Amino acid sequence: MNLLTRLFRSPPDPREALRPLWHRVVEISREPEWYAQCGVADTVAGRFDMITAVLAVALLRLERDEDCRPQASLLTELFVEDMDGQLREGGVGDIVVGKHIGRLMASLGGRLGAYRAGLAGEASLEEALRRNVTLLDDRGPDPLAQRLRALAGQLDTADIGEVLAGRIER
């Protein structure tokens, strides 16, 4: 590598280290059990609900480890990048894509707070899910809450290095 290349190349994107975790969050949110057994609607809205639910659980895990808080921000940036791409692919124009991203971020933030309180036992996780997830049938949010609690417990006991690398066993 010559001197000019070393001097003028841009630094590596710090988000790249978290891309495997982002991909794993999306994979987990697409697991058929969320839809078939937990009653989440297998629609665009339901899939978004599951991505934000699984992402929230992952972010809460990173948030509990003070050293991982910067990674939580980077993971959120990957969410924004992905949603931006999805919106554009869906035909949303440049002029309004920012407004849509703002709404999606507000939605994620609200859900993060509700799920944080629900998983900590400070509020009802079932009620938070009833308000924030598109459910199809009369099963209610109990199976979904049980499965999300299991995922949160799994992440809580997992090695943080494995979580950051996206190696989350299911």
- Which tens digit of pLDDT belongs to each residue from 43-86? 999 999 999 999 999 999 999 999 999 999 999 999 999 998 88
Nearest to 111 by CA among 131, 87, 97, 126: 131
Is residue 4, in this structure, part of any structural domain at all?
no
Is residue 132, in this structure, part of any structural domain at all?
yes
Is residue 61, in this structure, part of any structural domain at all?
yes
Is residue 50, in this structure, part of any structural domain at all?
yes
**Number of domains comprising the chain:** 1
**62: containing domain:** 16-162
Q: 50 vs 20, 44, 116, CA distance in Å?
A: 18, 10, 15
Q: pLDDT per residue over 76-132, tens digit each?
A: 999 999 998 888 888 887 788 889 899 999 999 999 999 999 999 999 999 999 999
What is the torsion angle, in degrees rounded to the nearest 10, for the CA atoms of residue 121, residue 126, residue 127 and residue 130? 150
Is residue 10, in this structure, part of any structural domain at all?
no
What's the average model confidence in pLDDT over 21-35? 98
Is residue 168, in this structure, part of any structural domain at all?
no
Is residue 1, in this structure, part of any structural domain at all?
no
pTM metric for this prediction: 0.90
Helix-strand-coil percent breakdown of the chain, rounded to 5? 75, 0, 25
What is the spatial distance between Cα 20 and Cα 160, in angstroms, rounded to a whole number? Answer: 14
